[in-house]
Amino acid sequence: MHLLGIIIAILAFIFFLVLAFGMTVVGFVLRLLGWGNHQGVQRRRTTVHANPDAEAPKTKRFSEGEGEYIDFEEV
pLDDT in tens, 15-58: 999 999 999 999 888 888 887 665 555 555 555 455 555 556 66
Q: What is the pLDDT of residue 34?
A: 84
- Span between the terminal Cα atoms of the chain, in Å: 62
Quick check: 9 pLDDT over 80?
yes
d(CA 30, CA 36): 6
Q: What is the pLDDT of residue 10?
A: 97
Alpha helices in 1-75 (DSSP H): 2-33, 38-50, 52-55
